[in-house]
Structure 1
Amino acid sequence: MMGERTVMQEALFYGFSLERHVPDDHLLRRIDRFVDLTDIREHLRPYYSETGRPSIDPELMIRMLLIGYCLGIRSERRLCEEVHLNLAYRWFCRLGLEGAVPDHSTFSKNRHGRFRDSDVLRRLFELTVERCLLEGLVGGEGFAVDASLIKADANRQRGVPGIGDLPTEAASHAVRDYLAVLDDAAFGAATPVEPKFISIADPASRWTSANGGPAYFAYSTNYLIDLKHAVIMDVEATTSIRQAEVTAQRRMLERTQDRFGVWPQRLAADTGYRSAENLAWLVHERGIEPHIPVFEKSSRTDGTFSRSDFTYDHKRDLYICPGGKQLMHYRRAFSTPRSGVDEHGLMRYRASVADCGSCALKARCCPTQPQRKVLRSIHEGARDMARDIALTDAYLTSRRERKKVEMLFAHLKRILKLDRLRLRGPNGAKDEFLLAATAQNLRKLAKLLPPVAPATAG
């Protein structure tokens, strides 16, 4: 027999608990154990007036943003709708059944105001790193660094050759942000090369085709991770160019030491960080072993001796050629000392014309020149150290573990849906990257530290 038609009847009273309706294994319940925003409230207190109408609770907005970035909800308008309807989201936001959800425009007002002025999103991210340190998830011995391109919210078909060609109506928020970072080494001052095109919507984004496909406007998110459990120790937004990414690496290492007192013994990175200047900075200024491949430009293909065939004598500061002769920087003393370093940071070591002229190996060494010359960087010591490290088993381990940072970027784009920015300008990119890294660290904590089951009575 067919059942009766179901008719919803409103009851006068309900006995309902959000706590009982959120499963124990729900992601937000597992994350909630690590979200303590007491420090955030105190951090924001100076940015609120003591008088006037009470504002929307900043903790509520931050919890809503965490839901959005942890679960890949990219639209703030949709986020407000989801929090309004989803019981687990209401529980995480401490709203209850009757709590009002703020309008989506509130996020924009606070993002451009109190949140940005107080750098609260940076502080929120650092709280997750502190918790990872407290829980023993950070080894502190080996770090890895890398960068990934994230498309900007800019139409690739709407670009102009230079800032002078930007329309006057665009000279507001986007152009002001662009002008503010022109002297920043992570943005405008990263390179003297002018970009081919500048976006009208987001002038600070970089026109790039680094991925090998069609060019587009993008920013770079830079991660510094600990290799023990791939905890993100720091994150930095830069323009999409290698020089800026090397600058970000230095800033993140310095900030990690200053903020958390953690300094790695080794740093794993790809060839984008192989410059002699960067290797020297790591070795001589920071005492970090560079587990970074060194690109060799001195190898010859015409059959003559390469620089690797010459032996450098550190004590006497000279090279010994395959024929046993000396190549010296200077063969006489000058009344005024000379550095002998050119504008590229290179020094020239020369053999004597007499030695080369009578050498039986001249045809294999310098057949068209009267004497052999060898170039050496002022940072060659750091490069030599990187070459020696590349021959060790530890380097092979670092090269394998370095893939952890690439896996984080894959998770960022595929799971958290951050393959394209929604906010514009350097500050918008910074906010999104910080929130995404915060979400990834929280998910890491929830995965590696399951809740302890309550003991049952025997």
Structure 2
Amino acid sequence: AFGAASEVQPKFTSHSDPASQWTAARKGPAFFSYSDNNLIDMDHGVIVDVEATRSIRQAEVGSTRTMLDRVKARFDLHPERLIADTACGTGPMLGWQVERKTAPHIPVFDKSERTDGTWSRADFGWDAENDQYICPEGQALKQFRRNYSDPNREPTGQGRAKYRALRLTCQACPSKARCCPNMDFRSITREEHEDARQVARDIAKTDQYVISMKLRKKVEMLFAHLKRILGLNRLRLRGPCGANDEFLLATTAQNLRKLAKVLPASQQPRKA
């Protein structure tokens, strides 16, 4: 997670702590920082695991996998659902969760919605049996329109796939102005983990998803206590190990505070 999370060259590098990330996530003056990623039991508000990463989305998403695998190996805990923000709503991350039989209660990271008034990808129906999209006018968008004798040229189902409509069909369509006014035919790109993304979209329509979004207040409250009550606004140690140690100690203090509230205080008899 430190240095290998992204291939983008950082704009600035700290001479005293090269692993830290130059960020302006607070919409203010930029600074070097680390991110505190916590895995929290939403039923009891207890932090199960913690991982320090650079303040970059790819590293934070990777830490989620690390913590889930570590909790599974150490405590044999497997969550039924995972509640997170949009950063974890990418296709590979959602596909990984669906493979682990974990319900992703996560907003989908999707940029396919169009803002110019034309039909978006969500307006097209997906026909999984025939491997094609169906437009609102009932026409098919296919990836291939011929049968190959060589099996190596057939669709593999991996990577991106592009589905196209026939040019003659689009030219004669009465809804061309609402579909592809600046193109001869309509095409749709389907991501590799689109099935997992659709699972997350279907979950977002349920009542349980609404409850999960309300439970995220527990997460924000823990981070607020970490900054305001425990005073962890600035790290005292340098390097990834130092940041991870400070986050681990702060997490331990938070769990002990939670434990002190749960366990009743011992009643000592008063002396006469």
SS in 2 for 1:435: helix
**TM-fit CA distance, 1:369:** 2.0
Q: Give the equivalent residue in structure 1 for 2:134.
A: 320
Q: Give the equivalent residue in structure 2 for 1:234.
A: 49
Q: Give the equivalent residue in structure 1 for 2:260.
A: 446
**TM-fit CA distance, 1:317:** 1.5
Q: Give the equivalent residue in structure 2 for 1:205.
A: 20
Distance 1:407 1:268 in 2: 15
Query: How do 1:168-317 and structure 2 match up within 5 A?
Result: 186-284=1-99, 286-317=100-131
Distance 1:340 1:228 in 2: 41
Deviation readout 1:246-296 (Å, 9 max, x if unpaired):
010000011111111111111111111111111111112x11111111243
1:340–1:353 Cα change, 3 Å? farther
Distance 1:293 1:254 in 2: 22
- Root-mean-square deviation (CA, aligned residues, Å) is 1.8
Structure 1 stretches of 4+ moved >4 Å = none
Distance 2:30 2:154 in 1: 46
Deviation readout 1:163-220 (Å, 9 max, x if unpaired):
xxxxxxxxxxxxxxxxxxxxxxx11100111111111221211111111110111111
Among 397, 411, 429, which residue is 2:225 paired with?
A: 411
1:422 and 2:236 matched:
yes
Distance 1:397 1:244 in 2: 28
**Residues matched between the structures, number:** 268
Q: What letter corresponds to residue 239 of structure 2 in structure 1?
A: G
SS in 2 for 1:410: helix
Q: Give the equivalent residue in structure 1 for 2:189.
A: 375
Deviation readout 1:16-36 (Å, 9 max, x if unpaired):
xxxxxxxxxxxxxxxxxxxxx
1:330–1:415 Cα change, 3 Å? same
Distance 2:256 2:182 in 1: 64
Q: Give the equivalent residue in structure 2 for 1:337.
A: 153
Q: Is the 8 A contact 1:412 1:436 kept in 2?
A: yes
Q: Is the 8 A contact 1:321 1:327 kept in 2?
A: yes
SS in 2 for 1:418: coil
1:196–1:368 Cα change, 3 Å? closer
Distance 2:181 2:47 in 1: 54
Larger relative helix fraction? 1
TM-score (norm 2): 0.93
Percent identity reads 58
**TM-fit CA distance, 1:341:** 7.5
Q: What letter corresponds to residue 237 of structure 2 in structure 1?
A: L
**TM-fit CA distance, 1:414:** 1.2
**TM-fit CA distance, 1:359:** 2.0
TM-score (norm 1): 0.56
Q: Give the equivalent residue in structure 2 for 1:357.
A: 171
Deviation readout 1:377-399 (Å, 9 max, x if unpaired):
11111111111111111111110
Q: Is the 8 A contact 1:340 1:348 kept in 2?
A: no
**TM-fit CA distance, 1:455:** 9.1
**TM-fit CA distance, 1:357:** 2.6
Deviation readout 1:1-50 (Å, 9 max, x if unpaired):
xxxxxxxxxxxxxxxxxxxxxxxxxxxxxxxxxxxxxxxxxxxxxxxxxx
Deviation readout 1:281-330 (Å, 9 max, x if unpaired):
1112x111111112432222333221111100122211111111111111
Distance 1:438 1:296 in 2: 36
Larger radius of gyration: 1
Q: What letter corresponds to residue 429 of structure 1 in structure 2?
A: A
Q: Is the 8 A contact 1:209 1:216 kept in 2?
A: yes
SS in 1 for 2:153: coil
**TM-fit CA distance, 1:361:** 1.9
SS in 1 for 2:4: helix
Deviation readout 1:218-255 (Å, 9 max, x if unpaired):
11111000001210010001111110000100000111
Distance 2:230 2:53 in 1: 20
User: Structure 1: where are the runs of 5+ without partners?
Assistant: 1-185
Distance 2:267 2:69 in 1: 40
Q: What letter corresponds to residue 134 of structure 2 in structure 1?
A: I
